[in-house]
Amino acid sequence: MSNLPGSADPASTPPPPSSPPPTPEQIARLKKLLLKKGAEINEKLVALLNGQQVRVDGVFGGKPGEKPIERLRRFMAIIETQLAAIRAGTYGKCERCGDGLPYAHLEQVPWIDTCQKCAKELAEANDLDKPR
Ligand SMILES: [Zn+2]
């Protein structure tokens, strides 16, 4: 008798989601990246509060006219939200449409919270808001 698991009729299995959720190992790795980035931001914040000059050019998603400290605090909040999502088991999904985010993308930008499609739509919406 050979009755191997996983030999179900392929026609009856639903298609896989566009991006499967990250495995626990992948999540653990992404969490490390987030914690590392969080520590980096925290260091910059402390330096800023001590009156030192801090470069924040590399910090994700700066807004025009935003002060370095505001940018760092906002970024820190994003990282904390993502760490909370990991604890809640909701990490790795687009917060706008709920689609799974590809692991390759998460590994590059572990604090990302929207899929490329939604990010593009949001950017376009922001463009429309800009004064001309
Ligand atoms: Zn989305």
- Indicate the CATH number for domain 21-129: 1.20.120.910
Q: How far is the CA of 114 from the centre of ligand 1 (A)?
A: 5
Q: How far is the CA of 121 from the centre of ligand 1 (A)?
A: 9
How far is CA 73 from its chain centroid?
Answer: 16
CA distance 27 to 103: 9
CA distance 103 to 7: 27
Band of residue 131 on the pLDDT scale cut at 50, 70, 90:
low
Q: How far is the CA of 113 from the centre of ligand 1 (A)?
A: 9
Q: What is the pLDDT of residues 70-115, one digit of tens each?
A: 999 999 999 999 999 999 999 999 989 999 999 999 999 999 989 9
Q: How far is the CA of 31 from the centre of ligand 1 (A)?
A: 21
Angle at CA 90, nearest 5°, toward 88 and 96? 135
CA distance 15 to 12: 9
Indicate the pTM of the whole model. 0.75
Beta bridge partners of 93: 100
For residues 107-131, give the mean pLDDT: 88
Domain residue ranges of the chain, discontinuous segments joined by +: 21-129
CA distance 59 to 21: 26
Q: Is 111 within 8 Å of 82 (Cβ atoms)?
A: yes
Computed on alpha carbons and rounded to an integer, the radius of gyration of the chain in Å comes to: 19
63 CB contacts (<8 Å, ≥6 apart)?
71
